[in-house]
Amino acid sequence: MTDLHIGEHISRQYNEELEDIRTRVLAMGGLVEQQLKNAVQSLVERDTELAAQVILLDHEVNAMEVAIDEECTTILARRQPAASDLRLIVAVIKTITDLERIGDEAERIARMASRLSEDGRSVKLVTRIAEMGQHVREMVRGALDAFAHLDTDKAVEIWDRDRRVDEEYESLMRELMTFMMEDPRTIPSILETVFSIRALERIGDRATNICEYVIYLVKGKDVRHTRLTDEADDA
């Protein structure tokens, strides 16, 4: 799956430090994925309590980012990592930034869900929004799996799924616009829905960022701003 051997160091403690960082990134990713799941659920099921919980837990995501960031800086200073270890640290610093921003988007969705259900306003197209949310969540989980197993094939596969999410976004946008034009009184509540699906679309983009870091980590090659499917052929 990969020819990268992280963890073959003379110092056992250094090994453990690197392993610890990876474990903590995955724990942070797990929490972010849960936040995303709950945010979408609070939106489609009009569940204000669940929305409040998502908003409340965002500070935990933030605290995890700051803690992992500090650990990375400490390792850079004390261990002076080279080659694949260095790439791991750089990839982690970037990954946790995206995870934290995914958490922010989930919090935004929860806030919109909360406003909508407090005003007793309905959310249009809930089934399809729930579906899009599910697809975006699968992307986040897949990107984290690719990171956990340093699996570039998986990274490319997940990266590729962003197209479907973009199509779902475009199609939902067109229909929401039609609803607004047919009944202008629905504009304020539909706009909240519009921003929610836009947040989902952005989360999909961030999942693809994480996939790109995985490829950089394994191959030592920066694939951002290139066509990733060509990269897959090289794999």
Residue numbers of the site for a copy of itself (CB under 8 A)? Answer: 59, 62-63, 65-66, 69-70, 72-73, 76-77, 80, 82-83, 86-87, 90, 93-94, 97, 177, 180-182, 184-185, 187-188, 191, 194-195, 198, 222, 224-225
Q: Shortest gap between Cβ of 45 and a copy of itself (angstroms)?
A: 26
Task: Pick between residue 30 and residue 184 the one whose CB is nearest to a copy of itself.
Answer: 184
H or E, element range at 5 = none
Q: Shortest gap between Cβ of 81 and a copy of itself (angstroms)?
A: 8
Task: Pick between residue 153 and residue 175 the one whose CB is nearest to a copy of itself.
Answer: 175
Task: Pick between residue 30 and residue 188 the one whose CB is nearest to a copy of itself.
Answer: 188
Nearest of 199, 204, 55 to residue 47 by alpha carbon: 55
Nearest of 74, 132, 123, 65 to residue 93 by alpha carbon: 65
**Measured distance CA(210)–CA(8) in Å, rounded:** 24
Where would I find the H helices in 45-82?
A: 48-79
Q: Shortest gap between Cβ of 111 and a copy of itself (angstroms)?
A: 14
Q: Shortest gap between Cβ of 183 and a copy of itself (angstroms)?
A: 8
Q: Shortest gap between Cβ of 212 and a copy of itself (angstroms)?
A: 11
Nearest of 235, 185, 200 to residue 215 by alpha carbon: 235
Q: Within 13 Å, how many C-alpha atoms sit on residue 110's CB side?
A: 23
Q: Shortest gap between Cβ of 47 and a copy of itself (angstroms)?
A: 26
Using an 8 Å Cβ cutoff, are 216 and 93 in contact? no
Task: Pick between residue 59 and residue 163 the one whose CB is nearest to a copy of itself.
Answer: 59
Task: Pick between residue 153 and residue 167 the one whose CB is nearest to a copy of itself.
Answer: 167
Task: Pick between residue 47 and residue 72 the one whose CB is nearest to a copy of itself.
Answer: 72
**Measured distance CA(93)–CA(213) in Å, rounded:** 10
Q: Where are the beta strands (DSSP E) in 153-201?
A: none
